[in-house]
Structure 1
């Protein structure tokens, strides 16, 4: 119930993955979250600092990471593991206060509060549709439509397997291996091992299941192939995207603010791909503090 209590602030570093696990374990959806990793990017050059670096920067402390690779599945946990876990959270309130004090001085505390409200969205923590998880695989823009039909089946299989084994997806099969399997469409285990970068252990454990997924993908009617996920190569659009990204990067560096918090390349491409004013105004880049920062550079580029 603490997780869902909006009156109790929960301070976590790199919150998304932990919150997803906590939601699944408790049945409660998170409310009132403060992510120190994300918040640090509003007063420094990066919103992807490790906990080790964040503690060093904001608390002047060096964490002992000696238990990182110890066996965390074995019970009971050792005393060293318990102390390690405690140290990972013990200094987060201090770090949170340091970040917010600096943000207040810079006039950015409200920016951080607004961003943290995104963690209150329950859809962040729901299991994705297994038939759509392929869209999250890194590198799918390199695939043609038939290859997308294959990776759709492979990624759905991996998602089900990861859930049943309670393991991260990448611990089942990494993204790059799924891409290579989709591109080569192997029909036997030997081909899969030789051409697709599949480890011997993964090939032995999952080979037949992967071949079945490949076969299912190959049998998908062409009319049911997923749409190609290619970025626009229109020269004018590419030029505008690069120009705007460069300007946003300059703004971020000038303000000592992680430019990716203002907008990523994907965010920019979404803006450039839309001409409907109603759609545009609901995009994060076109709202609140982000639009205030980029208004002068985005209006002439997008002809607003």
Structure 2
């Protein structure tokens, strides 16, 4: 697809404003007082915490680029003023983790999201493309990747870090018009906008009430063990959020399986089983012991869904037929099969024999529901 010559480009030679106070952020926001699209990105660190630590916010409007330091000033006022403007499109690339990081400020996401990774798939450029790959496809420019895993919480940031961060939003502006034009010509703009709204809703999703169903190794466990597994998984997630530590640091999967299938009969035994886990101590260990000591009642048993068993030969055959059907429909539409119907969607359809309520996509449902239901055994 030869479109690079028709596209203007932004370069790192453009001036970049460093925002480290509420006053400077407000002044920059006033200076670009236009409903033009906002290019938005973040840098964050997630080394030893449950929640990502916001380290930098990158913004660009009509080539006016700013780097906001959230360690010096809260990003809330400027992000709410720009990203929640109902007249403004917010351009981001694969923003799932960015929206999670910004959940406190933008709990429902921007007013109008434009996800360039999704747009690339709807444009026929490829599924799940990284930012640098997409920019290279559309502009012929190879952006550096060397700062991806640098320490974004350090201060001062290096010149290389600032240039890398600025380019993350400068080229979002560059590719936006081209992607929108291609999708419009292909007739996918409405579907794309629906998927972008879903991306924002997905960032608000509450913890899974049935997390044990993803623990496939437990499909043959006794019911009591599955109930305990669900209880442990929910406790781990709630406690990890509360103490802000990664879930595996609190309760590794191997230990959780052991506790669910062979629950300790005393605090001393629990202490012995968990002595190698650094964050299981004091009140956290007491809480876990109380959780395991609670008797299982009938209400909890009936509320715990079974862990799906592996597909039998008939199920595997049906899954292959469904995948072939999805591939055929996707080919007719000119879309990637994985984008149209994920393996998880097909697996859920196969087990539930109905369209999953969590897949809130009217265009996918219209394309897939009846053809796939016709293939169920």
Query: What is the TM-score when the length of structure 2 is the normalising length?
Result: 0.60
Question: Partner of 1:83 in structure 2?
Answer: 163
Give ranges in structure 1 of 5+ residues lacking alignment: 194-199
Please identify, of 249-258 and 112-121, the stretch whose mean Cα deviation from structure 2 is larger.
249-258
Q: List aligned pairs for 1:219-238, cutoff 5 A.
A: 219-221=294-296, 223=298, 224-225=300-301, 226-231=304-309, 233=311, 236-238=314-316
Q: CA deviation at 1:190?
A: 5.8
Q: Equivalent residue of 2:375, what SS?
A: helix
Q: Equivalent residue of 2:344, what SS?
A: helix
Question: Partner of 1:148 in structure 2?
Answer: 226
In the alignment, is the contact (CA less than 8 A) between 1:151 and 1:179 conserved in 2?
A: yes
Matched, 1:103 2:183: yes
Matched, 1:264 2:342: yes
Q: 2:326 aligns with which of 240, 243, 248?
A: 248
Which one has a larger percent helix, Structure 1 or Structure 2? 1
Please identify, of 5-14 and 90-99, the stretch whose mean Cα deviation from structure 2 is larger.
90-99
CA distance in 1, matches of 2:349, 2:295: 33
In the alignment, is the contact (CA less than 8 A) between 1:4 and 1:28 conserved in 2?
A: no
Question: Partner of 1:132 in structure 2?
Answer: 209
Query: What is the TM-score when the length of structure 1 is the normalising length?
Result: 0.72
Structure showing greater radius of gyration is: 2
In the alignment, is the contact (CA less than 8 A) between 1:67 and 1:84 conserved in 2?
A: yes
Q: CA deviation at 1:184?
A: 6.2
Q: 1:4 aligns with which of 84, 88, 96?
A: 84
Q: Equivalent residue of 1:34, what SS?
A: strand
Question: Partner of 1:59 in structure 2?
Answer: 139
Distance 1:86 1:175, change over 3 A: farther
In the alignment, is the contact (CA less than 8 A) between 1:148 and 1:228 conserved in 2?
A: yes
- CA RMSD in angstroms, aligned pairs only: 4.1
CA distance in 2, matches of 1:97, 1:168: 39
Q: List aligned pairs for 1:1-304, cutoff 5 A.
A: 1=80, 2-25=82-105, 29-44=109-124, 46-121=126-201, 124-126=202-204, 128-129=206-207, 132=209, 134=211, 139=216, 142=219, 144=221, 145-164=223-242, 166=244, 169=247, 178=256, 182=260, 187-188=269-270, 191-192=273-274, 203-206=277-280, 209=284, 213=288, 216-217=291-292, 219-221=294-296, 223=298, 224-225=300-301, 226-231=304-309, 233=311, 236-252=314-330, 257-272=335-350, 287-288=362-363, 291-292=366-367, 294=368, 297-298=371-372, 300-301=374-375
Which one has a larger percent strand, Structure 1 or Structure 2? 2
Distance 1:128 1:45, change over 3 A: same
Distance 1:301 1:126, change over 3 A: closer
Please identify, of 254-263 and 33-42, the stretch whose mean Cα deviation from structure 2 is larger.
254-263
